[in-house]
Chains A and B, each alone.
Chain A
Amino acid sequence: MNYQEKKVITSIIAGVLVLATYSIYGMSKYLEIGEDLLNNLEFWATAMLITIGGGVVVVILIQIIFHIILAVANEVAKEVAKKVSGEGKNEIYEELEITSIEDEMDKLIALKAMRNSFIVVGIGFIIALLSLYMKMPPAIMLNVIFVSFSLGSLFEAFSQLYFYRKGVKNV
């Protein structure tokens, strides 16, 4: 597994954490207050804004922890390699440096994954509009849009993993 794949996995973990926290909070409040909550758009807007803000912080923290763990693991691997080979040259360190570069394949994978993510968001938007058409409360529409953005982001990360594993074509 290369650096980019590991980075994608950390963003999946962060995304799942944020979405799960929001879902649990929203559901518990709904069970506590009941149907009235569906007409309280202010509550949902506040919850979503806090989730977005908190999500950014969680993503940054997880990325920092990931880079610390990666750096420590690399140092350990470097020491082991030195002991085993007895050479001064550090190929493992060089490998980490070069794999953290985003090259043309990474950019193509990111683009294709983003296209997949837009499909999910688009479908979510249509479902949200349908919910309004079916006379459902606006809070449902708001939640469908929010969840579709979160799922779109997760789908983007999974698509990236898929393309790294299966390969990507320029067509």
Chain B
Amino acid sequence: MSKFVISNNIRKLRFYNNEMTQQELAKKTGVSRQTIVAIENCKYSPSLELAFRISDVFKIKLEEVFSYEIIEDKGKKGDI
């Protein structure tokens, strides 16, 4: 069973966008600051709608904000 990890560049993008605060991003996307913090720390994967709203704030494509990585589980019973 492989693990699917979603990462993001929100921290970097905020910095390059006039050092936008988490609060400002939260207000522009209509969510709480806590949610932005959780997304930035990869503790919560946003819905597709929120992901598009975040990319829209930065005026870039979705895949430039979010990326994913598939991590294969090694050494599992039955794997040769």
Q: Interface size class for chain B? A: 10 to 19
Could you say which of B7-15, B41-49, B55-63, B67-75 contacts chain A?
B41-49
CA distance A164 to B30 in the complex (A): 18
Option from B35, B45, B47 in Cβ contact (under 8 Å) with A169 = B45
Contacting residues, chain A, for B30 (C-beta < 8 A): 101, 103
**Count, A-B residue pairs, CB within 8 A:** 55
Q: Is the CB of B41 within 8 A of A98?
A: no
Q: Please judge, given known A-B contacts A166-B43, A169-B44, A169-B45, whether A105 and B23 are in contact too, CB under 8 Å.
A: no
Q: Please judge, given known A-B contacts A95-B23, A98-B26, A167-B38, whether A104 and B31 are in contact too, CB under 8 Å.
A: yes
- List which B1-32 residues lie within 8 A (CB) of chain A: 23, 26-27, 30-32
Q: Is the CB of A167 within 8 A of B33?
A: no
Option from A95, A104, A166 in Cβ contact (under 8 Å) with B33 = A95
| Count, chain A residues at interface, CB 8 A | 20
CA distance A99 to B23 in the complex (A): 10
CA distance A88 to B46 in the complex (A): 34
- A85 interface residue (CB < 8 Å to B): no
CA distance A95 to B35 in the complex (A): 13
Q: Is the CB of B23 within 8 A of A103?
A: no
Contacting residues, chain B, for A99 (C-beta < 8 A): 32-34
Q: Mark A144-164, 1 if CB is under 8 A from B, else 0.
A: 000000000000000000001
Contacting residues, chain B, for A98 (C-beta < 8 A): 23, 26-27, 32-33
Residues of A within 8 A of B (CB): 2-4, 91, 94-95, 98-99, 101, 103-106, 108, 164, 166-170
Residues of B within 8 A of A (CB): 23, 26-27, 30-35, 38, 41-47, 50
A–B Cβ pairs within 8 angstroms, 25 of them: A2-B33, A2-B34, A3-B32, A94-B27, A98-B23, A98-B26, A98-B32, A98-B33, A101-B30, A101-B32, A103-B30, A104-B35, A104-B47, A104-B50, A105-B46, A106-B32, A108-B44, A166-B43, A167-B42, A167-B43, A167-B44, A168-B38, A168-B43, A168-B44, A169-B45
